[in-house]
């Protein structure tokens, strides 16, 4: 029986101090700065999105505050031939895959065109999956298609701790196991599914151990340590590419904010519970490490923040200036060829 | 007698049912300490305890299946599916089990459960949060499907659903949760599940609707009145089995019928009503039956949602077409 | 040109599609070495190998979801659900995903998959093995729903379904699998998915049906002919979207319509057809539209099944009532 | 993390020789004879049912040939306050719970009245569950009701190896774990799900290890050893009654016959594969033990066989003489009160 590593894999402690030898990539300043910049940009995007929502200019939005290391770590080692199948909380990973901030704003602003990713890298990626956990069977299907077509790509799906209670997750993981499909299932275990605590979600000690049910390896990783997430994902990806199948990766982190802008977490959790987690969060952690190990300067930090905020603001402006699509558009993409009855119904709505 | 919004009326009915009957338990995602994402169960865990107000894992199949098992074994579970768009995994348990226990055991085992779910659009919610698929459920033999159109109806119909000895799907038009309030008396009086409600008497045409669409229907009826057209408005309330007699009688009186629903046109529940009229009241029809519905498209994201929703204007257009028909 | 039963025609179409397009793969329970519990895939694993004919674990949710993911990623999966009664767990993937990918990505990603399932009763199968819930699927915007009524139609429609760039649910009337045979030419010619089939021309009334019920419908039409009543018979074949124009034109010609299906009456697909007529062909109707359908009951176990199934006699009764109406 | 016992629990080897100290109950001749008689009777029932089906007098039927020890072992330690929630292959357990053979024949003959169990013990038991695995969430619900009502009963569900691939199984087990419900999930692992081999069903080494995903204990037991099945079930039941929750029990056995009378197993498995399993089968095993340890005589054996066959034949006769129900019955049990529209539809069918 596979024995999921119940010891959490971690490279940096909360202060950014290495607790074991760093992998090669993590000794390179540039690589770490790229990871850091991506996390900072994600945080800036989140802040802007929440602000837009609060002022009525965006729909319900789920911030990834405090969970940036997961998506960034995962996407940073994915290749062009891989396919990303995200939950609704992996904005950072989506951006790293080439989805533009304008597209993300459009999506969360309630416009389907936000899912028509222009970037070649993201062209085959899936839009976010709202029905929790239902992306896992699809990811298994993507993996099957990749194998069947002789591609060397891997299907990478991300979902939350709550998603691990869905039958979809389990059925898909079981199929990945029995068909040895190149799929990596990543769990963003942010300790909460809206108001449900992780320990009320399942009696399993770790979420990674759920892989035992499917006979595939499971790993627990510190989800606030982008180096660890990246390293573990890289291993799972090479394993998948080499052929012996899928891996379940549990990334342990914490949801610092509300579930979404529609949620008020103060109804069900105390601030005192949240506070200590601010000390663990991934952006600060990597900054500490960059400062200590690579002389990351105040100027560099300020330039990065400015640049991130500027790019986010610019994207928001483009989004806000984008007119809604023509009402007819809702009919035009239902089928490759519009059936007669739909064309008749479309006659009801204005042409532009 | 208190002014209540629909969400308050639902909460009040749940509390009343739990007070009256210790076998009534609530379960669903976030129904406990969070009080439900729409606050339908706010305060109930404090009042009735965590063993009767149960936060479930994120497992719609199990929510339905656990409710079925518990109901068959003598509880009266009221399970919540957080949004109708996430109800599909519960259909297997509803269709293959809940709806059949009484029949397949010839009455030995029964399944007095309620499955609540908010449904419908118009509030700018994210994708998968605005569906209206009541027709799929209404096609399943052995289920009752109910949808209230006002706080008082929500209160009385929900009590009836919980007390009913058979499974009931209770669909709550979330657009109405806080859209207005009315006087609701928390007297424990249930409303009947086998009669529709005539919201307005009229002579010229009948407009049939349910749930949130009654707002637009009533608005349209007001405007029509201004134009000298007297519309009879029927709130179906219970869709399955529905009050065919009242609808037929009304249309046999008025000779004209417009049916309104938010769900897509094709094989929507409006089809059943129109078909019933074509079958049983044909000779009374002075004009074609019109259906004003959502389109056969995916419910659009918020920016185009308004173009999908049946509007007062579209209802008026249909009503006028029906009146002008000759 | 060969005489084929429907199950042979289906197998022939699957083989042809797999020969033509390496992206076509089959998956489902027992579709491999066992050749499917009805033998629809018999011999195909030997011919196309285990990587293209995949026995799945017992996981209907994953069967549908894997098909969705594979289709979106460029395969043309044909997934089998062993019986329609076990299809419910696949609805989430169908309604929330398969039917939406093209729309929600504005054409960037598409989902050219086929979900096959045997459906319908009349063969004395155990409970849950005889359902006809096509109306539930036909209500979902973005899906095509197809059901053949003969071997040749099964061949041509299945090829069309597999080649269609969008998701298709292909419902096979299992009562017809071996009920007879006809000449089928394995020429790779698909039948259109957007037109119904006029099986018989007639002047006095229109009978609309699909799938297995066409046997009883044709039998009834024969008997009616003997009584001097000329029935036009329409096989809908594609239920969603269906050929409204042909049905309307026929009823506008005959003035009378009987609709036949095995599924329960209420909110069955017959309701849509009757509603469409009440909306668009009302003035041509010389008599009420009649629906001859299953009842709003659970499909009985085999011993009472025959009393549930719409019989030739019930169709005749309806046809005569429609003819005698004045 | 719980560690499911991957060593299979067994008391009797294939020859009926004890491989470890027997539990108390298994030292008593009477108890063993009762278990044996129940298995023999089940086998006789199976044979008759298949014969009836072959001659067109019964519907599709799934024999439990070779798997009798599971249901008998399980049901033999269930109490009146427990509730049994079976798959379609646990005829033996159903009989032990008081379901009459006439009722079983009626059910398999296509008559709903076969589910209206008359025996007080079975009065709250569920009829067989055809949609594979969907009984597990219901079992969790039954367990919840038992707890809620302050009863000390346990919900006991049985399903096959195939059922362990259904999301239902997993979601239900997860709920049993997190709510610590008194439920015992028994898997009849007969190595086949129609034509799918156990190893193509899941990559998990054992099915019992799937319990790890839900954080509940899992046990593997020799499903051909009725003593082992009974003993392990008894332990799981006391654990459930005592409060700490559910258990998953994998009973390893072999489907000696076709999947059902509609199936032809020769299409997908060789006789050579089946033959060795005849040496393992549970009835012969217990008989060997009874003969060796308790002087079970030829006379006793013959009397038992005669008696079993007689009772089966008698029940079959009653079944065959039972007229089908009135057609109206299909309407009469849809709701407590028949709705008007149903009453109108009922008018279509003959009254008797
Ligand atoms: C199948 C399904 N059920 C319910 C919901 C409503 N819902 C949205 S997010 C959420 C909680 C998700 O928790 P988790 O999986 O931990 O992800 P997180 O939001 O914490 O990232 C719920 C219940 C949904 N989207 N899908
Ligand atoms: C959900 C569902 N899918 C498919 C079927 C058809 N079917 C009946 S039994 C069976 C195999 C079951 O295998 P297993 O669970 O191992 O039980 P066994 O028959 O071996 O006792 C299948 C696929 C079904 N009854 N239910
Ligand atoms: Mg979470
Ligand atoms: Mg099996």
Tens of pLDDT, residue by residue over C111-157, are 999 999 999 999 999 999 999 999 999 999 999 999 999 999 999 99
Residue C128's alpha-carbon distances to B156, B196, C120, C174, in angstroms, are 35, 32, 10, 14
Chain D residues whose beta carbon lies within 8 Å of the beta carbon of residue C315: none
C-alpha to C-alpha distance for A184 and A174, rounded to whole angstroms: 13
Residue C141's alpha-carbon distances to A321, A342, C90, C137, C287, in angstroms, are 31, 10, 16, 9, 32
Q: For residue D2, what pLDDT band results from cuts at 50, 70 and 90?
A: very low
Share of chain A above pLDDT 70, in %: 98
Q: For residue C1, what pLDDT band results from cuts at 50, 70 and 90?
A: confident
| Domain co-membership, B149 together with B6 | yes
Share of chain D above pLDDT 90, in %: 96
Residue B32's domain comprises 2-184
Quote the minimal CA–CA distance from D54 to chain C in Å: 14
Domains of chain D by residue range: 8-321, 327-352
Share of chain B above pLDDT 70, in %: 100
Q: Give the end of a domain, one of B184, B207, B235.
A: B184
Stretch B35-63: mean pLDDT: 98
C-alpha to C-alpha distance for C166 and C71, rounded to whole angstroms: 9
- A178–chain B Cβ distance below 8 A for any pair: no
| Domain co-membership, C90 together with C168 | yes
Per-residue model confidence (pLDDT) at position A4: 53
- Mean of the per-residue pLDDT values for chain A? 96
Query: Could you tell me whether strands B181-184 and B2-5 are parallel, antiparallel, or unpaired per DSSP bridges?
Result: antiparallel
Would you call A149 and C166 a contact, using CB atoms and an 8 Å cutoff?
no
Stretch A291-307: mean pLDDT: 98
Would you call B62 and D171 a contact, using CB atoms and an 8 Å cutoff?
yes
| Domain co-membership, C231 together with C297 | yes
Q: Which among D205, D216, D232, D209 has a CA at the least distance from the CA of D181?
A: D216
Q: For residue B326, what pLDDT band results from cuts at 50, 70 and 90?
A: confident
| Domain co-membership, B23 together with B162 | yes
Q: Report the interhelical angle of D29-54 vs D298-321 (nearest 10°).
A: 40
Q: Give the end of a domain, one of B184, B215, B230.
A: B184
Alpha-carbon C50 to chain mean position? 28
Q: Is there a contact between B289 and B319 (Cβ–Cβ < 8 Å)? A: no
Handedness of CA C267, C270, C275, C278 (dihedral sign): negative
Per-residue model confidence (pLDDT) at position D352: 58
Q: Is there a contact between D207 and D250 (Cβ–Cβ < 8 Å)? A: yes
Chain A residues whose beta carbon lies within 8 Å of the beta carbon of residue C245: 340
- B304–chain A Cβ distance below 8 A for any pair: yes
pLDDT per residue as tens digits for the range C23-66: 999 999 999 999 999 999 999 999 999 999 999 999 999 999 99
Run of H or E including C161: helix C151-163
pLDDT per residue as tens digits for the range A327-349: 999 999 999 999 999 999 999 88
Would you call B70 and D334 a contact, using CB atoms and an 8 Å cutoff?
no
Does the residue C192 lie in any domain? no
Q: Which of A56-65, A276-285, D163-172, D341-350 has the lowest mean pLDDT?
A: D341-350
Q: Which of C97, C128, C129, C139 is catalytic?
A: C129
Per-residue model confidence (pLDDT) at position D350: 74
Alpha-carbon B279 to chain mean position? 25
Ligand 4 geometric centre to CA of D132 (Å): 10
- Supply the DSSP symbol for D163: G
Per-residue model confidence (pLDDT) at position A1: 38
| Domain co-membership, C107 together with C210 | no
pLDDT per residue as tens digits for the range D94-147: 999 999 999 999 999 999 999 999 999 999 999 999 999 999 999 999 999 999
Token representation of residue C300: 């009985």
Residue D131's alpha-carbon distances to B30, B140, C86, C97, D134, in angstroms, are 29, 16, 6, 24, 6
C-alpha to C-alpha distance for A50 and A295, rounded to whole angstroms: 32
C-alpha to C-alpha distance for B15 and B26, rounded to whole angstroms: 10
Token representation of residue D225: 């050893």
Nearest CA in chain D to A209: D213
- DSSP result, A92-138: HHHHHTT--HHHHHHHHTT-GGGGS--SGGGTTPPPP--STTTHHHH
Determine which residue's CA is closest to atom 6 belonging to ligand 2.
C82
C-alpha to C-alpha distance for B253 and D213, rounded to whole angstroms: 62
Q: For residue A6, what pLDDT band results from cuts at 50, 70 and 90?
A: low
| Domain co-membership, C312 together with C274 | yes
Q: Is there a contact between C153 and C197 (Cβ–Cβ < 8 Å)? A: yes
Per-residue model confidence (pLDDT) at position A350: 74
Question: A144-177: buried (b, 16+ CB within 10 Å) or exposed (e) per residue?
Answer: bbbbbeeeebbbbbbbbbbbbbbbbbbbbbbbbb
Stretch B213-217: mean pLDDT: 98
Residue D184's beta-bridge partner residues?
A: D156, D247
| Domain co-membership, C62 together with C17 | yes
Does the residue B87 lie in any domain? yes
What CATH number did the domain enclosing C12 receive?
3.40.50.970
Told to judge if D319 belongs to the known catalytic residues of this protein, a careful annotator would answer no
| Domain co-membership, B180 together with B203 | no
Q: Give the end of a domain, one of C184, C206, C240.
A: C184
Per-residue model confidence (pLDDT) at position D351: 65
- Mean of the per-residue pLDDT values for chain B? 98
Does the residue B190 lie in any domain? no
Neighbours of chain B (3+ CB pairs under 8 A): A, C, D
Q: Flag whether pLDDT at B139 surpasses 50.
A: yes
pLDDT per residue as tens digits for the range D78-94: 999 999 999 999 999 99
Mutation target vs B (from A56, A89, A106, A110; most B CBs, 10 A cutoff)? A110
Give chain C's domain count: 2
H helix runs in chain D, sequence order: 29-54, 68-75, 91-96, 101-108, 135-148, 167-179, 198-201, 226-242, 271-278, 282-294, 298-321, 329-332, 340-346
Q: Is there a contact between A252 and A67 (Cβ–Cβ < 8 Å)? A: no
Stretch B95-100: mean pLDDT: 98
Of D6, D171, D202, the CB nearest to A167: D171
| Domain co-membership, C206 together with C155 | no
Quote the minimal CA–CA distance from C301 to chain D in Å: 5
Q: Is there a contact between D52 and D58 (Cβ–Cβ < 8 Å)? A: yes
| Domain co-membership, B44 together with B90 | yes
C-alpha to C-alpha distance for B170 and A234, rounded to whole angstroms: 48
| Domain co-membership, C286 together with C155 | no
Stretch B186-213: mean pLDDT: 98
C-alpha to C-alpha distance for D157 and D159, rounded to whole angstroms: 7
Mutation target vs D (from B66, B88, B145; most D CBs, 10 A cutoff)? B66
Nearest CA in chain C to B297: C141
Share of chain C above pLDDT 70, in %: 100
| Domain co-membership, B135 together with B104 | yes
Would you call B304 and A130 a contact, using CB atoms and an 8 Å cutoff?
no
Phi/psi region, residue D201 (left: phi>0; alpha: psi -120 to 50; beta: rest), is alpha
Stretch A184-203: mean pLDDT: 98
Ligand 1 geometric centre to CA of B90 (Å): 16
Tell me which ligand sits closest to the C-alpha of residue D133: 2
Residue C208's beta-bridge partner residues?
A: C234, C259
What CATH number did the domain enclosing C251 receive?
3.40.50.920
pLDDT per residue as tens digits for the range A83-142: 999 999 999 999 999 999 999 999 999 999 999 999 999 999 999 999 999 999 999 999
A331 — phi, psi (to 5°)? Answer: -95, -25
Stretch C211-219: mean pLDDT: 98
Does the residue C189 lie in any domain? no
Q: Flag whether pLDDT at A5 surpasses 90.
A: no
Task: Walk across the sheet containing B197-200 and list its strands.
Answer: B197-200, B231-235, B205-209, B257-264, B290-294
Nearest CA in chain A to B31: A195
C-alpha to C-alpha distance for C187 and C42, rounded to whole angstroms: 20
Say whether the ipTM exceeds 0.95.
Answer: yes
Residue B291's beta-bridge partner residues?
A: B259
What does CATH list as the number for D8-321?
Answer: 3.40.50.970
Does the residue C296 lie in any domain? yes
Q: For residue A2, what pLDDT band results from cuts at 50, 70 and 90?
A: very low
**Is the preceding peptide bond at B241 cis, omega within 30 degrees of 0?**
yes
* Residue listed under structure tokens 């109806």: B153
**Is the preceding peptide bond at C241 cis, omega within 30 degrees of 0?**
yes
pTM tops 0.80, yes or no: yes
Does the residue B189 lie in any domain? no
Of C316 and A1, the one with more pLDDT: C316
Would you call B303 and A60 a contact, using CB atoms and an 8 Å cutoff?
no
CB atoms within 10 A of CB A106: 24
Q: Flag whether pLDDT at A155 surpasses 60.
A: yes
Q: Is there a contact between A225 and A102 (Cβ–Cβ < 8 Å)? A: no
Alpha-carbon D156 to chain mean position? 10
Q: For residue B220, what pLDDT band results from cuts at 50, 70 and 90?
A: very high
C-alpha to C-alpha distance for C208 and C198, rounded to whole angstroms: 9
Q: Flag whether pLDDT at D163 surpasses 70.
A: yes
């Amino acid at each position: 029986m596979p024995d999921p590593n119940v010891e959490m894999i971690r490279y940096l402690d909360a202060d950014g101090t290495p607790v074991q030898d760093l992998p090669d990539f993590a000794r390179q300043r540039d690589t770490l700065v790229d990871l850091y910049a991506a996390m900072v940009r994600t945080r800036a995007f989140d802040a802007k999105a929440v602000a837009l929502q609060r002022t009525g200019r965006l729909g319900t939005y789920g911030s990834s505050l405090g969970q940036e290391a997961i998506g960034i770590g995962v996407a940073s080692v994915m290749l062009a031939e891989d396919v990303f199948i995200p939950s609704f909380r992996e904005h950072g990973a989506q951006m790293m895959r080439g989805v533009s901030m304008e597209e993300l704003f459009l999506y969360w602003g309630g416009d389907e065109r936000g899912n028509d990713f222009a970037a070649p890298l993201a062209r085959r990626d899936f839009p976010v999956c709202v029905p929790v956990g239902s992306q896992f069977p699809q990811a298994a299907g993507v993996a099957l298609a990749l194998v069947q077509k002789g591609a060397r790509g891997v299907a990478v799906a991300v979902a939350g701790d709550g998603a691990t209670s869905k039958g979809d997750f389990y059925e898909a993981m079981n199929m990945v196991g029995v068909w040895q499909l190149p799929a990596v299932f990543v769990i963003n275990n942010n300790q909460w599914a809206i108001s449900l605590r992780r320990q009320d979600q399942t009696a399993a000690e770790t979420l990674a151990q759920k892989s035992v049910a499917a006979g595939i390896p499971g790993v627990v990783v510190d989800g606030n340590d982008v180096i660890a997430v990246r390293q573990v994902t890289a291993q799972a990806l090479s394993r998948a590419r080499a052929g012996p199948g899928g891996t379940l990766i549990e990334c342990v982190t914490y949801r610092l904010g509300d579930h979404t802008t529609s949620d008020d977490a103060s109804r069900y959790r105390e601030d005192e519970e949240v506070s200590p987690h601010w000390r663990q969060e991934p952006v600060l952690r990597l900054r500490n490490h960059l400062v200590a190990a690579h002389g990351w300067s105040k100027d560099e930090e300020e330039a990065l923040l400015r640049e991130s905020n500027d790019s986010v603001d610019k994207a928001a402006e483009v989004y806000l200036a984008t007119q809604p699509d023509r009402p007819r558009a809702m009919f035009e993409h239902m089928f490759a060829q519009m059936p007669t009855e739909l064309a008749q119904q479309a006659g009801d709505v204005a042409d532009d | 007698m208190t002014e209540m919004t629909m969400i308050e009326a639902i909460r009040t009915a749940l509390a009343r049912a739990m007070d009256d009957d210790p076998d009534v338990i609530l379960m669903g995602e976030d129904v406990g300490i969070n009080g439900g994402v729409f606050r339908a169960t706010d305060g109930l865990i404090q009042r009735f305890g965590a063993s009767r107000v149960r936060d479930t894992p994120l497992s719609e199949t199990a929510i339905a299946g656990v409710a079925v098992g518990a109901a068959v074994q003598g509880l009266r579970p009221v399970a919540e599916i957080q949004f109708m768009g996430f109800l599909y995994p519960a259909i297997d348990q509803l269709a293959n089990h809940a709806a059949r226990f009484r029949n397949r055991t010839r009455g030995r085992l029964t399944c007095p459960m309620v499955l609540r779910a908010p449904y419908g659009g118009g509030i700018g919610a994210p994708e998968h949060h605005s569906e209206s698929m009541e027709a799929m459920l209404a096609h399943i033999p052995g289920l009752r499907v109910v949808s209230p159109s006002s706080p008082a109806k929500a209160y009385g119909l929900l009590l009836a659903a919980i007390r009913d000895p058979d499974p009931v799907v209770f669909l709550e038009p979330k657009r109405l949760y806080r859209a207005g309030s009315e006087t609701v008396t928390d007297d424990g009086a249930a409303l009947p599940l086998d009669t529709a409600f005539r919201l307005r008497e009229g002579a010229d045409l009948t407009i049939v609707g349910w749930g949130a669409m009654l707002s637009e229907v009533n608005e349209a009826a007001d405007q029509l009145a201004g134009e000298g057209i007297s519309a009879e408005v029927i709130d179906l309330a219970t869709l399955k089995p529905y009050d065919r007699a009242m609808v037929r009688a009304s249309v046999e009186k008025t000779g004209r019928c417009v049916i309104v629903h938010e769900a897509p046109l094709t094989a929507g529940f409006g089809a059943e009503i129109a078909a019933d009229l074509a079958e049983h009241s044909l000779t009374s029809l002075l004009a074609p039956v019109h259906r004003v519905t959502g389109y056969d498209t995916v419910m659009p994201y918020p920016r185009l949602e308004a173009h999908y929703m049946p509007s007062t204007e579209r209802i008026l257009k249909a009503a006028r077409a029906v009146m002008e028909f000759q």
